[in-house]
Amino acid sequence: MIFSTLEHILTHISFSIVSIVITIFFMTLFVHEIVGLYNSSERAMIVTLFCITGILVTRWIDSGHFPLSNLYESLMFLSWSFSIIHMVPKIRNHKKKNLFSAITAPSAIFTQGFVTSGLLTEMHQSTILVPALQSQWLMMHVSMMVLSYAALLCGSLLSVALLVITFRKNMEIFCQSDSLSFLIRPIFFDKIQYVNEKNNVLRNTCFLSVQNYHRYQLIQQLDRWSCRVISLGFLFLTIGILSGAVWANEAWGSYWNWDPKETWAFITWTIFAIYLHTRTNNNWGSKNSAILASTGFLIIWICYFGVNLLGIGLHSYGSFTLN
Amino acid sequence: NSSSPTHLQHEDVETLVEKSDSVQLLKLLKKVPKRVLGVLSNLSLAIGEMGSVAALMALGTVIEQGETPDFYFEKYPEENPVFGFFTWRWVLGLGFDHMFSSPIFLGLLVLLAASLMACTYMTQIPLVKVARRWNYLNTSESIRKQEFNDSLPRASVRDLGVILMGAGYEVFLKGPSLYAFKGLAGRFAPIGVHLAMLLIMAGGTLSATGSFRGSVTVPQGLNFVMGDVLNPIGFLSTPTQDFNTEVHVNRFYMDYYDSGEVSQFHTDLSLFDLNGKEVTRKTISVNDPLRYGGITIYQTDWSISALQILRDDEGPFNLPMAPLKLSGDKKLFGTFLPVGNTDSPTVKGISMLARDLQSIVLYDQEGKFVGIRRPNSKLPIDINGMKIIILDAIGSTGLDLKTDPGVPIVYAGFGSLMLTTCISFLSHSQVWALQDGTTVVVGGKSNRAKIEFPEEMNRLLDRVPELAQISQTK
Amino acid sequence: VESASEAGPCEEKVQAASDATQNNLFPEFPTKDINRRVALGSSVAAVGLFLSSRLDFGVSLKDLSAAAMPYEQALANGKPTLVEFYADWCEVCRELAPDVYKVEQQYMDRVNFVMLNVDNTKWEQELDEFGVEGIPHFAFLDRNGNEEGNVVGRLPKQYLLENVDALARGETSIPHSRIVGQFSSSESRKVHGVVDPRSHD
Ligand code: HEM
């Protein structure tokens, strides 16, 4: 009894924190920037991580099975993965990760907000596990899949950011307006200051070329980071799909039935394998591979959500073997 | 005279033979494999193949698979084509109704496999050879072109080599040039990835052509012989001695949660060989199959076979239960106990319906609801003057049998794919150095550790001792 | 001069200068900020605790059914029995659970306590037999298994206590019977059919 109460408390706390962070974010974006609150959002992310971990652990203890058996639990796990991916660079003490955080932190916050909001209350209850899911493979397969989705989503969002920056002509919005500056400013602060100090006279004329140089650097960084994250996500996706195939063989006798969920996971894997291959060939350029990774974003959502939603509408959602 | 124009000289014969068509054809044929390999190992082609495989798979999930032709006539009519051109002719003609075994899909997979083989042969294996040649960079400019570069004003390339060796690099020195690398595995992993893919494809092909499969629904207490149930799938399927084993279903039961959902299905099986000796006995459940002699038995379905009742304390009678069709996939079984004159054409009786093994609903001769009974409660019920006691509901278990020779190969492919993909994530770093007078020019690159590599190099270079006495080296 | 052999797909295409100036992600935080964070954190925790205090503390239906006795065993051991028909989705059952638990603890050795989930098809015979139309439905059985009376819906703890006490003392009738309080209709039971063994939704 105490564990379900604890889980309830943690859900409320995490929702409150998430609401506050989103409020701060939108305030900063549209109204006025408060520089001091940047650190608050970092602290909030750490607290959210602890809350989500607590929720998952108490759910595990309360229901007796690994908390990944329905959509609610897997979304919770997804937001936990986003938080972990957000935290990892900080642990390894890479200082220049503001770019990365700009993608992972909002993802974690929005996913967690969606999960703990009132939209999914009917799934909150701990459910029983159907016979087919009572296996040790559940832990490995589904957790790897959700982790890979989180990593690949981050990577493809970074590619989307890269495309956005490539296609933006004016750099004004980055250097002067308040909108994204509480995320981006720490990168450019020193450089702009340096330029200002050095060359006050030519400031206006040099500004544009300095802007272009920074933009170029930003694109390079985004490119590198998206490639790294997508490689990691690809590794997890490979392990997830293969462990799923082995599990299917143990449970139902066939390691690959072409049912929609498995097929779409394989399609996602193929798309990102193509992405990795376009990067080995230098002629393709970073822009084209970024476009590819952005389509990967859509495909992951189809794979994760779309298949479940469509499966309700279609006639018979079942598995068909190769016969 | 020897140089008579009418006699052909040896050289003339040779040139004549060279120019003749058959020889030209032979030369062309020898070039073809090389050309084909060259075309197949083109990366863009491979990317195109992967893309079209993905597109076909997506199409296969959108179009319903395995339906009757009438279904496609209805869904994709010619009068009103989808997207303006897609009719049932496309679907049935190209084999999209069984997309994942259609010739177009399988052909693409074969092409992909050929590309993989060609690519591994043409580009990856030469890569291994190249890696073995320690490629020194002999000019300062080429070293300065590297990702990371630095120069040490008063140092010796030998000292640098010692420091690098201490940091785990393999160092090679030739005169003033130095080459060092760390993490060789990271370079060869892509080859492993492609070979693992080929292994998986080979295993999958073997599964598709050499396995046996079968399903059977067996009431509790009965048996069957494996060979009767298993059907060959492809042309390589050959039965084994173990196919003569007899399987006996001792008991089939379901575990429930408090709220009535099924927690697990269990079947207690005994296997007997040709002599009637019991060779193995196991209770299988959904994630826990029985393996014997290459054949695996899975729990995949269930059914109700009969109701055992006492009528007016006589019996027990076994009434067979028949499945009644309902919408959706919830099952309903029913049986009928005739009352009165069984020869008359309009015979009436008591109907008993069951959704599971736990409760039976009874209706009288007029079809009116009378009551519900749980089989093991032994509570009698009075219908139309008869006293009925339901003793037991006997279930049947649905089993899937399978033997698959490709599974070990596919598992080996899975394991190596996981391993090599992990390894390809490791970093592989290379360092070059050149002694240029008293300066050592250092350059390096790494395939993964973009951030850590410059930091590590800076740390190592700091440790290189500065030479006090400058000795000219040429 | 042969250039270096290929590296992985994340290789950097252009030479980049080593990034010298790094911005400090965690600058010296002023104490004001810590205070602000502490205030925020504690107010959030207070809100969370306030919300949680409106939830049910104590016994849950799961605890009750874990402590209950199997039905067949209860009928066979010669003691009077209290049978409660409940469901997981029934609000009133959840609210009455702590009271039932206390009574159970008090009379455990003299009276059997049985919990039957109405969603379970196993108890359909009993649902029919006892005429259960609303839950929670409390049926009071004597030591031979005959029904002495029943109560449906929300009832004060006193009534329950007195009824169980009457059972324990072996009386042939219970003081409070045929009382109907606020209940949920048993028509809204959620009967789960047998799941397909292969279904993994
Ligand atoms: C089913 C088809 C294929 C799959 C799943 C596949 C998968 C992969 C993977 C996972 C990598 C490793 C990437 C890395 O380690 O970062 C890789 C590397 C590579 N693949 Fe493929 N590949 C396929 C087909 C091909 C084909 C047909 C070619 C040649 C035309 C090819 C050329 C390469 C090359 C050159 C690399 C090396 C990149 C590097 O060194 O990292 N691949 N492939």
- Chains near C with 3+ CB pairs less than 8 A apart are A, B
Q: Please answer whether residues B388 and B381 qualify as being in contact, where contact means their C-beta atoms are separated by less than 8 angstroms.
A: yes
The pLDDT value given to residue C40: 73
Cβ within 8 Å of A, B 205-264: 208, 213, 233, 257, 259, 261-264
Q: Please answer whether residues A124 and A63 qualify as being in contact, where contact means their C-beta atoms are separated by less than 8 angstroms.
A: no
Which pLDDT tens digits describe chain B residue by residue (474 residues)? 444 455 556 666 666 666 667 777 777 766 777 777 777 667 888 888 999 999 999 988 888 888 788 888 887 777 777 777 777 777 777 888 888 888 889 999 999 998 888 888 777 666 666 665 556 777 777 777 777 788 888 888 888 888 888 888 888 888 888 888 877 766 678 888 999 999 999 999 998 888 899 999 999 999 999 988 888 888 877 888 888 889 999 999 999 988 888 999 999 999 998 888 999 999 999 989 999 988 999 999 899 999 999 988 888 999 999 988 766 668 899 998 888 777 777 788 889 999 989 999 999 888 899 999 999 888 898 888 889 999 999 999 999 999 988 899 999 999 999 988 888 877 677 788 888 788 888 888 776 666 667 778 888 888 888 876 555 444
Pick the closest to residue B210 from B186, B239, B182 (CA basis).
Answer: B239
Cβ-based burial of A292 (10 A; exposed 0-12, middle 13-18, buried ≥19): buried
Catalytic residue among C61, C93, C152, C160: C93
Q: Scanning every residue of chain A, which has its alpha carbon at the shortest distance from the alpha carbon of B420?
A: A235
Domain locations along chain A:
1-120, 136-323
SS3 B388: strand
Best mutation site among B127, B193, B423, B424 for ligand 1 pocket (most ligand atoms within 8 Å of CB): B193
The pLDDT value given to residue A193: 45
Catalytic residue among C61, C90, C116, C174: C90
Q: Given an 8 Å threshold on Cβ–Cβ distance, is B148 in contact with C122?
A: no
| Site from A6, A11, A39, A289 to mutate, C interface, most C CB atoms within 10 angstroms | A39
Cβ-based contacts of A315 with chain B (< 8 Å):
64
Q: Is C10 a catalytic residue?
A: no
Cβ-based contacts of A252 with chain B (< 8 Å):
298, 300, 400
Q: Scanning every residue of chain A, which has its alpha carbon at the shortest distance from the alpha carbon of B232?
A: A323
Query: Considering just the CA atoms, what is the radius of gyration of chain B in Å?
Result: 38
What is the Å distance from ligand 1's center to B134 Cα?
Answer: 24
Cα gap A46→A14, rounded to integer Å: 11
pLDDT less than 50: residues of chain C: 1-7, 13-30, 56
Average confidence (pLDDT) over A33-47: 72
The pLDDT value given to residue A121: 66
Instruction: Answer with the residue of higher pLDDT: A170 or B80.
Output: B80
Mean of the per-residue pLDDT values of chain C:
77
What is the Å distance from ligand 1's center to A298 Cα?
Answer: 23
What is the Å distance from ligand 1's center to B191 Cα?
Answer: 8
The pLDDT value given to residue B265: 94
- List the structure tokens of B359: 């409760």
Indicate if the pLDDT at residue A71 is higher than 50.
Answer: yes
Distance from the A1 Cα atom to the nearest Cα atom in chain B, whole angstroms:
17
SS3 A257: coil
Cβ-based contacts of C193 with chain B (< 8 Å):
330-331, 355-356
B68 CB near a chain A CB, below 8 Å? Answer: no
Q: Given an 8 Å threshold on Cβ–Cβ distance, is B148 in contact with C8?
A: no
Q: Are strands C81-86 and C137-141 parallel, antiparallel or unpaired?
A: antiparallel
Cα gap B255→C69, rounded to integer Å: 18
Q: Please answer whether residues B99 and B107 qualify as being in contact, where contact means their C-beta atoms are separated by less than 8 angstroms.
A: no
Cα gap C79→C110, rounded to integer Å: 7
B240 CB near a chain C CB, below 8 Å? Answer: no
Angle at C163 between CA C159 and CA C164, to 5 degrees: 120
Bond into B316 cis (ω within 30): yes
Q: Given an 8 Å threshold on Cβ–Cβ distance, is B285 in contact with A131?
A: yes
Q: Given an 8 Å threshold on Cβ–Cβ distance, is B445 in contact with C7?
A: yes
Instruction: Enter the ipTM.
Output: 0.76
Q: Given an 8 Å threshold on Cβ–Cβ distance, is C121 in contact with B358?
A: yes
Q: Given an 8 Å threshold on Cβ–Cβ distance, is A322 in contact with B208?
A: yes
Q: Given an 8 Å threshold on Cβ–Cβ distance, is A20 in contact with C44?
A: yes
| Other Cβ atoms closer than 10 A to B462 | 9
Distance from the A113 Cα atom to the nearest Cα atom in chain B, whole angstroms:
31
| Helices of type H across A117-180 | 137-167, 172-175
Cβ-based contacts of B51 with chain A (< 8 Å):
270, 274
The pLDDT value given to residue B124: 65
Confidence of residue A290 (pLDDT cuts 50, 70, 90): confident
| Other Cβ atoms closer than 10 A to B337 | 17
Report DSSP state, residue B285: B
pLDDT tens column, C13-34: 433 333 333 334 444 444 566 6
Amino acid found at B336:
F
Q: Given an 8 Å threshold on Cβ–Cβ distance, is C193 in contact with B299?
A: no
Name residue B318's beta-bridge partners: B308
What is the Å distance from ligand 1's center to B106 Cα?
Answer: 21
Q: Please answer whether residues B326 and B332 qualify as being in contact, where contact means their C-beta atoms are separated by less than 8 angstroms.
A: yes
SS3 C130: coil
| Site from B123, B258, B430, B432 to mutate, C interface, most C CB atoms within 10 angstroms | B258
Q: Given an 8 Å threshold on Cβ–Cβ distance, is A319 in contact with C6?
A: no
Cβ-based contacts of B371 with chain C (< 8 Å):
125, 128
Cβ-based contacts of C8 with chain B (< 8 Å):
186, 424, 428, 447-448
What is the Å distance from ligand 1's center to A277 Cα?
Answer: 6
C119 CB near a chain B CB, below 8 Å? Answer: yes
Pocket residues: Cβ below 6 A from ligand 1: A 231, 273, 276-277, 280; B 41-43, 46, 50, 112, 115-116, 119, 123, 189-190, 193-194, 197, 421, 424; C 6, 8-9
Listed in order, strand segments (DSSP E) in chain C are 81-86, 112-117, 134-135, 137-141, 147-152, 179-180, 184-185
Helix and strand totals (H; E) in chain B:
13, 21
Contacts of A80 (CB under 8 A, 6+ apart): A49, A52, A53, A56
Q: Which atom of ligand 1 is nearest to the CA of B53?
A: 1
C193 CB near a chain A CB, below 8 Å? Answer: no
Cβ-based contacts of C61 with chain A (< 8 Å):
none
For residue B450, give Cα distances in angstroms to A96, A225, B168, B454, C21.
Answer: 13, 10, 18, 7, 17
What is the Å distance from ligand 1's center to B43 Cα?
Answer: 9
Contacts of A154 (CB under 8 A, 6+ apart): A82, A85, A103, A104, A107, A229, A233
Cα gap B261→C65, rounded to integer Å: 16
Q: Are strands B148-152 and B439-446 parallel, antiparallel or unpaired?
A: antiparallel
The pLDDT value given to residue C43: 74
Distance from the A200 Cα atom to the nearest Cα atom in chain B, whole angstroms:
32
What is the Å distance from ligand 1's center to B266 Cα?
Answer: 45
The pLDDT value given to residue B284: 94
